[in-house]
């Protein structure tokens, strides 16, 4: 074999795999590829206009405004910052896939807004998201770690964002899904949750690889930092949740759901739970919402040269648990 000079530009070779999990994640993510434009959101219009109170409509709009901010952060800054620390070329390729899907997630909310709301209302939602103090606090706190943190700190920030902070927003569509309302909107949210579940597992796994290489002293220091950060984010999330959910009276149950997901984020990072809350404590309507099958729309249809989009698999609690 010819000697490869140091300044040669290295072609990615998928026939030489450094870490099987890179390949398995690439395959899983490409199989579950989807686009917002394939979900018939307008089928929810009748429910939106006839079966949702103005308060419920506003809540839905605001949580999606918040989620737009966080997915924008992931697509613009989050994944780009993680990619700088990739340990091999396949990891970079997986992160490329993740980054594109974050753009799909962020755009999905605009598709929902466009279908359900007038332009003036949409502008109000974006004004709210760009100025809400608690939402801005978490976005900027996480982004600061993306810009200035170490490779391992950035992974913690990403897993906290995707496995924990998103869930104050996801609660609303899952709650309505559990009550058989806004089913197509919920379908989009479940596709996003399914992606995030793989992202959280994968980035958490990469964190654990690096964490194992640290000295015991460095591990203790990083753990302290991690739990402090989680607690700080939870305190902010409590205020965000009060602001959004006090009006409909769901604040306490949303906070339970958040603590349960905070534990899941720690689990993805290979760490011990921080809160006593388990799945049995979460509102069962919302848990049922998570575990219902993901419906098939036109995912079987051929696109281009006989290329088939991945079939959407039924989603169950195990998927959520990855
Ligand atoms: Fe996302
Ligand atoms: Fe993600």
* Domain contains 253: yes
At 310 the pLDDT is 36
Q: Are 32 and 195 in contact (CB under 8 A)?
A: yes
**Per residue in 116-134, pLDDT tens?**
999 999 999 999 999 999 9
Active-site residue (options: 109, 234, 240, 320)? 109
Average pLDDT over residues 285-299: 63
* Domain contains 114: yes
Query: How much is the pTM?
Result: 0.90
**Regarding predicted confidence, which is higher, 3 or 244?**
244
- Report the separation in Å between the CA atom of 257 and the middle of ligand 1, taken as the mean of its atom positions: 19
Banded pLDDT at 6 (limits 50, 70, 90): confident
**Per residue in 130-160, pLDDT tens?**
999 999 999 999 999 999 999 999 999 999 9
Q: How many domains are there within the chain?
A: 1
- Report the separation in Å between the CA atom of 98 and the middle of ligand 2, taken as the mean of its atom positions: 6
Taking ligand 2, which is a single-atom ion, which protein residues have CB atoms under 5 Å away? 162, 196, 199
* Domain contains 203: yes
Residue 159 structural domain: 27-317
* Domain contains 247: yes
Banded pLDDT at 318 (limits 50, 70, 90): low
* Domain contains 7: no
Banded pLDDT at 307 (limits 50, 70, 90): very low
- Report the separation in Å between the CA atom of 146 and the middle of ligand 2, taken as the mean of its atom positions: 14
Q: Quick check: 303 pLDDT over 60?
A: no
- Report the separation in Å between the CA atom of 111 and the middle of ligand 1, taken as the mean of its atom positions: 15
**Per residue in 68-94, pLDDT tens?**
999 999 999 999 999 999 999 999 999
At 293 the pLDDT is 53
At 257 the pLDDT is 97
* Domain contains 41: yes
Q: Quick check: 316 pLDDT over 70?
A: no
* Non-local CB neighbours of 259 within 8 Å, separated by 6+ positions: 234, 274, 275, 276, 277
**Per residue in 21-47, pLDDT tens?**
999 999 999 999 999 999 999 999 999
- Report the separation in Å between the CA atom of 71 and the middle of ligand 2, taken as the mean of its atom positions: 7
* Domain contains 4: no
* Domain contains 48: yes
pLDDT averaged over every residue in the chain = 91
CATH number at residue 271: 1.10.620.20
Q: Quick check: 315 pLDDT over 90?
A: no
Banded pLDDT at 289 (limits 50, 70, 90): confident
Among all ligands shown, which has an atom nearest to the Cα of 158? Answer: 2
- 109 included as an active-site residue: yes
At 288 the pLDDT is 80
Q: Quick check: 167 pLDDT over 80?
A: yes
Banded pLDDT at 57 (limits 50, 70, 90): very high
């Amino acid at each position: 074999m010819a000697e490869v000079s140091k300044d040669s530009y290295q072609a990615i070779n998928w026939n030489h795999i450094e870490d099987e999990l890179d390949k398995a994640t690439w395959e899983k993510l490409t199989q579950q590829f989807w686009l917002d434009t394939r979900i018939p959101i307008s089928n929810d219009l009748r429910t939106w206009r006839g079966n949702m109170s103005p308060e419920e409509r506003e809540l839905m709009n605001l949580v999606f405004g918040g989620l737009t901010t966080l997915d924008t952060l992931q697509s613009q800054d989050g994944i780009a910052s993680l990619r700088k620390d990739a340990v091999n070329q396949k990891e970079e390729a997986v992160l490329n896939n993740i980054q594109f899907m974050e753009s799909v997630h962020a755009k999905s909310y605009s598709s929902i807004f466009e279908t359900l709301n007038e332009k003036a209302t949409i502008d109000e939602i974006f004004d709210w998201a760009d100025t809400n103090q608690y939402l801005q606090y978490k976005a900027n706190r996480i982004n600061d770690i993306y810009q200035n943190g170490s490779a391992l700190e950035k992974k913690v920030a990403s897993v906290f964002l995707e496995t924990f902070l998103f869930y104050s927003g996801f609660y609303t569509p899952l709650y309505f899904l559990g009550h058989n309302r806004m089913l197509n909107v919920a379908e989009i949210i479940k596709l996003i949750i399914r992606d995030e579940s793989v992202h959280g597992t994968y980035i958490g796994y990469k964190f654990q690889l690096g964490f194992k290489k640290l000295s015991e002293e460095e591990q203790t220091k990083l753990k302290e930092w991690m739990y402090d950060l989680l607690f700080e984010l939870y305190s902010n999330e409590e205020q965000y949740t009060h602001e959004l959910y006090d009006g409909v009276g769901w604040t306490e149950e949303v906070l339970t759901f958040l603590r349960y997901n905070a534990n899941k984020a720690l689990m993805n990072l290979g760490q011990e739970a921080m809160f006593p809350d388990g799945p049995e404590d979460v509102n069962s309507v919302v848990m049922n919402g998570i575990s219902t099958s993901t419906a098939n729309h036109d995912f079987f249809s051929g696109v281009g040269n006989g290329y088939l989009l991945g079939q959407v698999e039924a989603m169950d609690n195990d998927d959520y648990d990855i």
